[in-house]
Homo-oligomer: A and B are copies of this chain.
Amino acid sequence: MTTSTALLLADLAGVAVFAASGASAAVAKRLDLFGVVFVGFVAALGGGIVRDLVIDEVPPLAFADWRYAVTAAVTAAAVFWLHPQYARLRTTVLVLDAAGLGLFTVTGTLKALDARVPAVGACLIGMLTAIGGGLGRDLLTAEIPIVLRREIYAMAALAGSVAVAALDAHGHANAAWLTAAAAFVFAVRLVSLRRRWSAPVPALHPPRPGP
């Protein structure tokens, strides 16, 4: 298998796990078949579409390469029919989702840097690529996006995109280091899930009486 085939397969695996997470949320809201596929499509490809619009890569990959849309649609439809089985795969899906998070962070940041976006902007775009689909999924199902509420999720992606930008700035953006960056995001996400780490929430009471 060549490197680019490996990358494509990894990318499509990320699309599939995010599509499964979107479809699962849509099934829970009792959307119809079309709704489940559509939310799966948005969860899998929404982040990448925004990334491509922002870096002027048009038409976005989700529309330019049919394998992306078909992977998302087939996965979401499978969840629609198999959802009781899917629920039993909860842990597997969380692990795959963490893998997708790591992968999309790295590819999103790299694509932005390649499009000559400065480092701070490229990190933001990389993070948005990774979390954008989940944001779209939650907006479509009328939830406050969970990524804004709980757990170390976007933070892991942001740390990973900063690592990628740093590697790129020092000329180390090769396969080994980039894989390490994706693995880092993956590990941070899994450990924080396991240990129930979360970002601080606002204090309920004023922390001090003030002047």
Contact = CB atoms under 8 A, between A and B. Distances in A.
Interface string A167-211: 000000000000000000000000000000011111000111010
Interface residues of A, number: 66
Interface stretch (A1-9, A93-101, A118-126): A118-126
A156 to B, nearest CB: 10
B34 A155 contact: yes
B149 A32 contact: yes
A2 to B, nearest CB: 23
Contacts of A66: 118-121
A34 B202 contact: no
Number of copies: 3
Contacts of A150: 32
A21 to B, nearest CB: 16
B140 A31 contact: no
Contact of A121 (B59, B141, B154): B59
A90 interface: no
A62 to B, nearest CB: 7
Contact of A199 (B32, B120, B141, B200): B32
Contacts of A32: 148-150, 198-201
Given A54-B63, A63-B117, A144-B140, A30 B202 contact: yes
A199 B39 CA distance: 15
